Structure 1
């Protein structure tokens, strides 16, 4: 499909620079074949049905943004995928000043050797020493806010908490599964009281999620792979809930993509562990999920393509036009939508 079909005009003031407080007070746009309805995230217990199951991503964002020096050249690095115990693939700023074999000094006793330059301009960084890389990053790295936020204000101490979900426990993401940022213990208790269950899986979100689609046609766009896992017990419980008439509602496109990667043609979710580079565009037949809670996405992004595949392009264009006119807040710290096809 032509990528420009997924374009739309978004006023800059619709981009949220801070999350709603409290988190579950954000607005929620319900989108169904029957139309649009304005709600709050706290309305979810009455918008879902007893027996439904929400599926969250329990990945934890690491301080993956690094600034360092290669000699006299300043080098920026955004880690986006672990490739070994001490090796990370990274997007590099000022990459023309870096070549394989160069050492980058990130300060605080953290150094890495660059190698294996990819076609996308990324480098493989091998961190030196014996100390766990995660500990090194806590000293030298900072929270990797999306460029549409970091380009408008500085990252600060509040982001260390704001850009982490209540489910975060598995270190490895360089971007938050932002739909789950809206959930609080208070909301989870209300959902449980309403008979709505929840499960967790792990998908370590990569910085490739922020990359614009530069191709003119979706067939020419290559997704970056991300590592994920659904264990056998979780898969079995999800299948049992669906067999009993419950709906599987992914919280976030990361949860959705992993479930769809693990689902067979019959819709049964299988245990999964490994990389996925699934790219969902209109025409895709969904197998493992029945609904989605997600934020509002960028024009011409793979994520707007995904929600258009789920609900139909015209319906999502109308939903986004309504959201813009009604003052909904967009992107990572913005408001949410509930998509029920």
Structure 2
């Protein structure tokens, strides 16, 4: 992920500055429920509700941590001398642990016909026989997983929705590309349902199905999917901005080089010489080219500002995903 922070400057500007009195701001932080630890710019400041004083103007990060809820993160921008109220509605931590040891998984052939395993086989096979999907991606298999989860729960079997990478279990969350169901056939005994394939996967067949992040309900899972969708859309938009920047930068460099050649030509043939019709005409062309280059520099700065803003938003979404699956 690229981040452009440079600012292109063509013309030398003379700015005047004076001394002003610094006026600090104040931020009041509350949460529902209260009692969340407050970290202001990564520094602990107490528990909600609390007041953070002597805050300089600018953008600051706020993180709330509660043992029974998901981590809440955001940024707040304050002006000089301003009082700001930040109120957070903390989400219940509904991400579940997934069984990770062989003892917690069902081995192939461990259960006889007529058991819950047999019933799960019927469920996933029947679903596969009566449903199709047009393409393989996280969102398609997620829809199928939610359907199967509902069927399994309706059958009276405890189930969770799992998400991860069945080929590379240690991959980062940004590389997770699959969803499936984990069903509890006995206390702490789980079996994986491959919903897009229509079969069960046992612990001794592919342990990666048992190394995932799990959600207790489709509602919780959809919150994750929405964040992933927002993240992917933001990535696509940022990439289009990078393309815009590259194109505009190439145009700027070309026009700027041309302007530099014009200046060199002026210094060689007209500087220090009597004013003539030719020199006046060339000087007018130089001024027009300077305006052209200055305009391109402004467009580059605008694209740069947008990229930095979108990258900050991308980081916030990524932090929300990490908080949700942590």
More helix by share: 2
What is the TM-score of this pair, normalised by structure 1?
A: 0.24
Higher RCO (CA < 8 A, seq sep 6+): 1
* Structure ranking higher in strand proportion: 1
Bigger radius of gyration = 2
TM-score by length of 2: 0.24
